[in-house]
Structure 1
Amino acid sequence: MYWFQNTRPMYWPRLMAGDYDMMLPLFRMYLKMLPGNAAQVHQYYGHGGAYFQETTPFWGGVPYMGPEVKENWTGHYFTPILELSMMMLDYYEYTQDAGFAREYLVPVASAGLLFFDEHFGRDTHGKLLLDPDNSIEMFWKVHNPAPDIAGLRAVIPRMLELPDGVVGAGMKENWRRLLGVVPPLPVDDSARRLLPYTGPQTAKGRNLENPELYAIYPFRLYGLGKPDFLLARHTFELRKFREKGCWNQDPIQAAYLGEAGVAKDYVHYALTRKDPKLKFPAFWVRGHDYEPDEDNGGNGENGLQKMLMQTEGKNIYLLPAWPKGWDGEFRLHAPYNTTVEGKIVNGKVTGPVVTPAERASDVKINQLTYE
């Protein structure tokens, strides 16, 4: 079985590493699941679209999970297709491969958006009503979970930006309509913090995760230089679960919030968490599930990359969360077929060398605003 929660950490950092060819087998596996999953969705519910199970064999398949079905870990958990769409959007942004966008990205993302549009009803205000819907594996069958709202709010605007040669105007019109009915992220205004789902926070927690932080990563609605930064940082500071290693996303989220000390602590832990019983250096010690663990290395690598470089549109930010006392050399890939390389000595970047050269004007070192 492929557990998306455990498989994704190895693939996200392949973007900055430039290992694009290593990502295609993952995308291809899920793309091949689409026809069968879509057929089952239509059989069960009588509507279009598709999604991927959190835990699935390589040939795919989804169980019937109507509202009357008893809750469980992954039954009413529909988030993976949104995160995979986000990863595919990044792949396209990095490579500018229009063929990939047409053949992989648009089929997968459009199937996921159609599923959310047609599977769920509307509330009294005409907004999408995500209920029952798991807030990942943490809270089961809740109302308007933050990860799915964040995913829809992150994916749809980026799909609308795709060139007309990649996607038709009719699809964009449907996505604009859907974006207009996506509900707001759940927020506790009195405490100034994001919430894992909307409504009274009475659902029983089943895991050790912070679903409200999905709006920071992987869906990147909040971060350095973005609106409501203090809301996101305060939410991170109040997070309930702070465990290190395995699939915990804290090092990446900390980097996106400029928390260099926290990111350093978590990244160091993840990348040095070896098991002496296991043969190879990158066979990480067992986390929550099994050994060798897939997640320590991936999340550690991803966190380290984001401490060193983050991108937003054409902007390339260097050292957004880099700790004092760490020197190093780097060569990282950025969107629009760009590479950035240089050295860090005493907190300063020498160079950097940017390829192609005309992208050098997009590089900003420690030039981030906080709102």
Structure 2
Amino acid sequence: MQLQGKRVLLAVTGSIAAYKAAHLTRLLVKEGAEVQIIMSTSALDFITPLTLSTLSKRPVYHQFHKNETGEWNNHVELGLWADLFIIAPLSASTLSKLAHGNSDNLLTATYLSARCPVMLAPAMDLDMYQHPSVRANLDTVEKHGNILLEAESGELASGLSGQGRMMEPEHILEKTIQLLKKSKDFEGKKIMITAGPTQETIDPVRFIGNHSSGKMGIALAKNLANRGAKIELILGPSQITISHPNIKISPVTSTHDMYKAAQAVHPQMDICIFAAAVADYAPADPAKEKIKKNEENMSIILKKNVDIAASLGAVKKDGQIHIGFALETNHEEENAQTKLKKKNFDFIVLNSMNDAGAGFKHDTNKVTIFHQSGKKQVSDLLPKSAIAELIIDTLKKQLDTEN
């Protein structure tokens, strides 16, 4: 039994897919998990508490007080009890409440009190699932550090076919086992991650920058934090952010700012991941006032920025691991392997701009990992969250080999 001794809080909301909660409960219990179920009041229209209580062998909660005694169902205690909180199915209504901190029922109040990882398995009709407001709420809850189990495609209750089906219970079980097996495998490790772009000032209103979103570095930070690591996330200007008790964010703007922040924490770190897309050059003499449009042509003299990864690689301690990233458009493998050696990385992750769906601004990526030993790994085109997990699993194997 792969979940022996693990505590799973399963929340069920008002969706036709609520019937799948019975099968999911059965699967979790068979793997040895203790399962406590919470229901929203609308979920009572789709499946009875008696069914879920029988399968979980525990009373099912759906309100703040117990009818017989008036005793309080303590949402804080429930939130602290669990090793994992799964909301499956997650309706559009409850999703909106989670995204905006609405705690008008036991389920949402418990969610706001939970300190454990949270998995969300949305279920709704395909047009609802693709509606801009729903997608915005899904983005918001994912930015809050939750694990989103994207809906699967197939026949829907409306008779239409497409994406919107709650992830099948067998697949949720697989994700649960994977997460809980890894939940503490980086506990005690201090990890620095640089992420996002940098901006180099031209004048008070203009800058030199790039199209990096920071998605890859933030995905790495979230995954490692969920696995017990303490993260120093040095984040350049980005529309994306994350909130997690194991992540400390240091916002920076320029390459110089990022270097100073990284230099300050580097000596205390066990692992350093250089995922930021830093500017190689900066204006030598930024204008103090906005540059006016006068001449047909304008020249800006650039100076070379500090190479953060190379500078810190030169003072890397014994036992400290450095991981780098390379985004290339030509001679990809040759350039990546040159950086691997020059910057003293333990391994480097190559992104090619020539791969469709990979690189800046995409939610997916395809990478090749080169090791100092000469070993080479090639991934498929995957969501950036899955690429982050691949990189971290590679890191874990290296740590286990060294120990």
Q: Could you state the TM-score of these two structures normalised by the residue count of structure 2?
A: 0.26
Bigger relative CO (Cα 8 Å, ≥ 6 apart) = 1
Q: Relative to total residues, which structure has the larger strand share, 1 or 2?
A: 2
Q: Relative to total residues, which structure has the larger helix share, 1 or 2?
A: 1
